[in-house]
């Protein structure tokens, strides 16, 4: 092909010049007139039509066959122009191509599936040849039109200048040659490009097909893959179309140059040779493209079959195991494989049957039997097929009906169970009520019994508690009383001590006097609201309370002086007397011998009544002294009370003091006795 292009390259300049000439002369050709133009148009159309037909025939064997069949006698022309049919096809060097063997899985696609797959690509495939043909026809018409125009122009150029000189005709020749060379070169390069594009498309298609086969698990062809493949295929087809156009152009150029007869025979030969070389190349490109498209179609068919098989498998699995829902990918693949295996077995069996039927037909055909047997065998196979289908459908129907029945039975059972459970719950509720009532009654009885017992217990406990409380209160009262009595006793003791001893550490008997107020207050406080104590305390003379009372010791001491003075004034009467009388009384007392102090008369000892008027002052004083000596203060006071006259006056103070002391002591003794009695009761 390279040498061809070199040859053509030499005449490039000529072709370019010719083109320029065509364009410049275009306006002039329009102006040329009438009958010449019509003849040129008719001639151009005929030549163009013929050339187009030839080009169409040379496009593919199919086209050629169509033309040969439709137009009588055309076979000879096509044989003459395009060469013999078979050798031309066989003689073409087949390009080295990687052809993908169509996958075996695609073939056993079920009959009902088969009409489905050709949807997107198959349409392309089915439509593309028609479209191509249409496009080719249109293009050819255009080409014819342009060529007609060209020829017209050429004719117009040539016709008005019939007497053009030789240099002019030689220049035209060179122009044509150069145009031929240029178109040859273009056709060459176009064919080369188309071949490249076709190879590329084939490679792309193969690659994508491999990828799809490898990734068959994913189930569907991705859109991007589809797009890339279709783009490659379209590019290849486009390149192929261009190449075809160029080749056709070349052929028309050759034809036009031939018809004009102005160009060199050598140049035309070269051009024809190149065309004969290019035509097989174009056919090869076509084959390559077709192969690629077929491969793509096969791959798609396979994918669709896979999808279909998967759907069918899912349906079957659902029939067999309605409960099985979520199957993980691995199991799904395994199931799919199993399903495919079964299907293949089934189909192989069918194929074997068909084979057998075919063998039978062949054998019968050889025996020239009637067509009845053949139809019987076919019928048998068809029946088998139908039986299988019906079996499948029956199985699926059976499964579905079973499922429905099961659902119904389950619903019935559920309803029955619900009714039963309702009845049970009713009965249970009733029983619960009865039992609850019975137990409630029992519980109330028990509670009442317990309550009574508890109340009894509580009552006894309360009584005990009250008794204890009373006892404790009594005990506390007694304790309090004992405490009070003790404190009272102590206070009384203190009072008595004070009465008996007076103020301790006093220098004289007068200083010994101590007020009893504090002691009496203590007694009254400790006695509380004791009426007796209060009365006794109230009975004590004011003098004794405020000043205090003389002690016995002091009284004894003072009695001696009282005794002496009373003796001295024994003779003096109550209202005094003269000095002489005092003198005589003194003398009497001095001269009188004192009798024994302890001497007591018999009457006194016998405790008989005494005539006090018989006793004189000295007797009384003596008796009083005796009484005092025998610690009988009361008796002493009693005797002194019998005194008369001045002696009585003398003894008056002592007597009062002694009486006060005595009554205070008596009160203290009474308090003491009361305190002792209280203490005794408290204890």
Partner 1 sequence: MAKTKSEDILGEKWDRCVSDTIVKMGGGLGVGVLFSVLFFKRRSWPIVFGLGSGFGMGYANCQHLFDQPYLVRPERITVTAKSVTESVEGAKEKQ
In the complex with partner 1, which residue's Cβ is closer, 655 or 674?
A: 655
* Contact criterion met (CB below 8 Å) for 642 and 655: no
In the complex with partner 1, which residue's Cβ is closer, 240 or 563?
A: 563
Whole-number minimum distance, CB 561 to partner 1, in Å? 6
Secondary structure (3-state) at 22: helix
Whole-number minimum distance, CB 553 to partner 1, in Å? 17
In the complex with partner 1, which residue's Cβ is closer, 187 or 569?
A: 569
In the complex with partner 1, which residue's Cβ is closer, 82 or 651?
A: 651
In the complex with partner 1, which residue's Cβ is closer, 568 or 674?
A: 568
Residues 623-645 as b or e (16 or more Cβ within 10 Å = b)? bbbbbbeeeebebbbebbebbeb
In the complex with partner 1, which residue's Cβ is closer, 59 or 639?
A: 639
Whole-number minimum distance, CB 589 to partner 1, in Å? 12
What is the total residue count of the chain?
Answer: 683
**Interatomic CA distance for residues 474 and 178, integer angstroms:** 160
Determine how many CB atoms are found less than 10 A away from the CB of residue 621: 25
In the complex with partner 1, which residue's Cβ is closer, 173 or 567?
A: 567
Which residues of the shown chain bind partner 1 in the complex (CB under 8 A)?
A: 510, 558, 561-562, 565-566, 568-569, 574-579, 582, 646, 649-654
In the complex with partner 1, which residue's Cβ is closer, 238 or 543?
A: 543
**Interatomic CA distance for residues 175 and 16, integer angstroms:** 7
Determine how many CB atoms are found less than 10 A away from the CB of residue 37: 16
Whole-number minimum distance, CB 510 to partner 1, in Å? 7
Whole-number minimum distance, CB 496 to partner 1, in Å? 26
Whole-number minimum distance, CB 564 to partner 1, in Å? 8
Whole-number minimum distance, CB 653 to partner 1, in Å? 4
Our CA angle for 320, 321, 322, nearest 5°, is 110
Q: Which residue has the tokens 């008719």?
A: 42
In the complex with partner 1, which residue's Cβ is closer, 163 or 575?
A: 575
**Interatomic CA distance for residues 624 and 314, integer angstroms:** 155
Cα atoms in the Cβ-side hemisphere of radius 13 Å centred on 362: 6
**Interatomic CA distance for residues 56 and 50, integer angstroms:** 10
Farthest-apart Cα atoms in the chain, separation: 238
Whole-number minimum distance, CB 568 to partner 1, in Å? 8
Helix (H) or strand (E) holding 452: helix 371-501
In the complex with partner 1, which residue's Cβ is closer, 534 or 642?
A: 642
Name which of 185, 349, 196, 338 is nearest 271 in CA terms: 185
Whole-number minimum distance, CB 666 to partner 1, in Å? 24
Whole-number minimum distance, CB 570 to partner 1, in Å? 12
Residues 194-224 as b or e (16 or more Cβ within 10 Å = b)? bbebbbbbbebbbebbeebeeeeeeeebeee
* Contact criterion met (CB below 8 Å) for 339 and 311: no
Our CA angle for 346, 350, 354, nearest 5°, is 170
In the complex with partner 1, which residue's Cβ is closer, 450 or 510?
A: 510
In the complex with partner 1, which residue's Cβ is closer, 236 or 562?
A: 562
* DSSP letter string, 165-224: -HHHHHHHHHHHHHHHHHHHHHHHHHHHHHHHHHHHHHHHHHHHHHHHHHTGGG-S--HH
Whole-number minimum distance, CB 649 to partner 1, in Å? 6
In the complex with partner 1, which residue's Cβ is closer, 329 or 579?
A: 579
Cβ-proximal residues to 135 (8 Å cutoff; 6+ apart), any chain: 241
Whole-number minimum distance, CB 579 to partner 1, in Å? 6
Whole-number minimum distance, CB 572 to partner 1, in Å? 8
Name which of 462, 640, 503, 493 is nearest 562 in CA terms: 640
C-alpha torsion angle, residues 179, 183, 188, 191 (rounded to 10): 180
């Amino acid at each position: 092909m390279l040498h061809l292009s070199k040859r053509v390259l030499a005449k490039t300049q000529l072709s370019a010049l010719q083109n320029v000439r065509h364009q410049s002369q275009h306006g002039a050709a329009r102006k040329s007139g009438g009958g010449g133009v019509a003849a040129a148009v008719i001639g151009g159309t005929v030549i163009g039509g013929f050339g187009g037909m030839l080009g169409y025939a040379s496009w593919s064997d199919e086209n050629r066959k169509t033309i040969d069949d439709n137009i009588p006698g055309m076979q000879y022309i096509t044989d003459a122009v395009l060469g013999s049919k078979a050798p031309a096809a066989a003689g073409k060097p087949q390009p080295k191509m990687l052809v993908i063997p169509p996958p075996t899985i695609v073939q056993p696609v079920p009959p009902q599936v088969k009409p489905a797959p050709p949807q997107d690509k198959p349409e392309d495939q089915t439509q593309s040849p028609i479209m191509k043909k249409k496009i080719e026809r249109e293009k050819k018409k255009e080409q014819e039109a342009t060529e007609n125009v060209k020829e017209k122009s050429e004719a117009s150029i040539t016709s008005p200048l019939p007497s053009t000189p030789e240099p002019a005709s030689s220049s035209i020749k060179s122009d044509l040659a150069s145009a031929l060379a240029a178109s040859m070169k273009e056709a060459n390069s176009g064919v080369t490009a188309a071949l490249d594009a076709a190879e590329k498309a084939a490679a792309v298609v193969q690659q994508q097909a491999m990828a799809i086969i490898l990734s068959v698990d994913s189930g569907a062809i991705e859109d991007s893959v589809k797009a890339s493949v279709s783009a490659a295929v379209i590019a290849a087809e486009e390149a192929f179309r261009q190449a075809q156009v160029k080749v056709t152009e070349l052929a028309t150029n050759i034809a036009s140059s031939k018809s004009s007869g102005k160009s060199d025979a050598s140049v035309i030969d070269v051009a024809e040779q190149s065309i004969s070389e290019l035509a097989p190349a174009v056919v090869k490109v076509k084959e390559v493209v077709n192969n690629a498209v077929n491969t793509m179609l096969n791959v798609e068919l396979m994918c669709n079959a896979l999808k279909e098989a998967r759907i069918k498998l899912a349906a079957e699995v659902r029939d067999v195991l309605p409960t099985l829902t979520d199957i993980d990918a691995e199991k799904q693949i395994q199931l799919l494989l199993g399903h495919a295996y079964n299907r293949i077995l089934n189909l192989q069996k069918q194929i074997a049957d068909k084979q057998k039927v075919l063998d039978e037909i062949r054998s019968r055909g050889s025996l020239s039997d009637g067509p009845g047997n053949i139809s019987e065998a076919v019928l048998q196979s068809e029946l088998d097929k139908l039986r299988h289908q019906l079996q499948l459908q029956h199985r699926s129907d059976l499964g579905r009906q079973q499922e429905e029945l099961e659902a119904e039975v389950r619903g019935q059972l559920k309803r029955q169970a619900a009714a039963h459970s309702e009845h049970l719950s009713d009965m249970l509720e009733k029983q619960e009520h009865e039992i609850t009532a019975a137990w409630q009654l029992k519980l109330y009885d028990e509670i009442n019994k317990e309550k009574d017992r508890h109340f009894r217990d509580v009552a006894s406990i309360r009584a005990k508690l009250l008794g204890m409380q009373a006892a404790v209160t009594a005990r506390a009262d007694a304790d309090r009383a004992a405490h009070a009595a003790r404190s009272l006793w102590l206070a009384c003791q203190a009072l008595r001590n004070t009465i008996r001893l007076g103020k301790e550490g006093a220098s004289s008997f007068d200083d010994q006097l101590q007020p009893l107020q504090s002691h009496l207050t203590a007694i009254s406080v400790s006695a509380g609201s004791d009426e007796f104590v209060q009365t006794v305390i109230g009975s004590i003379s004011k003098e004794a309370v405020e000043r205090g009372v003389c002690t016995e010791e002091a009284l004894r001491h003072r009695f001696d002086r009282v005794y002496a003075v009373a003796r001295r004034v024994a003779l003096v009467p109550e209202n005094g007397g003269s000095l002489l009388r005092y003198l005589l009384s003194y003398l009497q007392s001095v001269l009188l011998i004192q009798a024994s102090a302890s001497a007591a008369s018999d009457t006194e000892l016998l405790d008989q009544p005494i005539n006090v008027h018989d006793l004189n002052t000295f007797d009384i004083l003596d008796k009083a002294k005796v009484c005092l000596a025998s610690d009988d203060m009361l008796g002493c006071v009693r005797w002194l009370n019998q005194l008369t006259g001045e002696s009585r006056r003398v003894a008056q103070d002592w007597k009062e003091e002694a009486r006060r002391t005595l009554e205070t002591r008596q009160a203290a003794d009474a308090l003491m006795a009361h305190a002792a009695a209280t203490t005794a009761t408290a204890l």
